Structure 1
Amino acid sequence: MKHTLGKLERLKSKKLIEKLYQDGNSVKLFPLRMMYLQTAHTSDFPAQVGVSVAKRNFKLAVDRNRIKRLMREAYRLQKEIVYDQLEDPYVFMISYLGKEEVPYQEVYLKMKILLTLFVKETKSKKNETL
């Protein structure tokens, strides 16, 4: 699998983002929260992902952009955790909840645990419906 995060893998649709926040579920691992929703999207990839950082917590755009860059990089390098387990298409929005910037190593580790939690939760929900 290529470790890229191309245009088709990014969540850009305003309609999908609204639907995600209205109907989606979430998994939290401070300082990250992942909102997710199993729904069809326009991409051939198993998931589309977006990242966000609250302006309320980080006033300067350079700080918000740096954290978003770190989160995208951590996701890009570990997305096979999710891709290997998904059969249905999903959309994600990963939000940064912290009030201070953390080092990249911590973001990387928390992202890994968050993705693993997501896989476990989706597997358990799928088993409940069967």
Structure 2
Amino acid sequence: MDQRFPREEKLKSNLLIEQLFSEGSSVSKYPLKLIYVKTEPEDDVKVKAGFSVPKRKFKKAVQRNQIKRLIREAYRLNKSNLFNNLSTSYAFMFLYLGKEEPDFSELNTTMERLLTRFLKQTQTDENI
């Protein structure tokens, strides 16, 4: 499985981001929250992902960018499990909810648990 995070997989569409926050479902595992919505498949991309850290909690852009880099790296390392188990396309937005700057190992294990929780929730939604 390719572990890159290419440009095609990045969430950039304002319309899709608005749709995420208005119609999306969510799963959370502190300090991360995942908001997702099903999308039409395009460019053979299963998931488009975006990352956000609140300016209210982290005033300096350097801190926000560092946390986003850590979250992106944790996602990149764990996305192979996600891609192997998905059949439809999704748009993701990862939100950081914590108050302190995270440690990468903690963030990586949280990302693993969050993605497995997402897979379980989508499987139960499909079965209903």
> What TM-score do you get using the length of structure 2 for normalisation?
0.97
In structure 2, stretches of 5+ residues that fail to align are none
CA contact (8 A) 1:20 1:35 kept: yes
Residues 63-92 of structure 1 show CA distances to partners (whole Å, capped at 9, x for unaligned) of 000000000000001101210111110000
CA contact (8 A) 1:9 1:43 kept: no
Which residue of structure 1 aligns with residue 8 of structure 2? Answer: 8
CA contact (8 A) 1:24 1:36 kept: yes
Q: Distance in 2 between matches of 1:24 and 1:40?
A: 14
Q: How do 1:34-49 and structure 2 match up within 5 A? A: 34-40=34-40, 42-49=42-49
Q: Which amino acid aligns with 1:115?
A: L
Which residue of structure 2 aligns with residue 121 of structure 1? Answer: 121
Which residue of structure 2 aligns with residue 58 of structure 1? Answer: 58
Question: After TM superposition, where is structure 1 displaced by more than 4 Å over at least 4 residues in a row?
Answer: none
Aligned Cα RMSD in Å?
0.8
Q: CA, structure 1 residues 41+22, in 2 after alignment: closer, same or farther (shift >3 Å)?
A: farther
Deviation of 1:42 after TM superposition, in Å, equals 3.5
SS of equivalent to 1:79: helix
> What TM-score do you get using the length of structure 1 for normalisation?
0.96
Q: How do 1:33-112 and structure 2 match up within 5 A? A: 33-40=33-40, 42-112=42-112
Residues 15-61 of structure 1 show CA distances to partners (whole Å, capped at 9, x for unaligned) of 00000100000001010000000111543111110000000010000
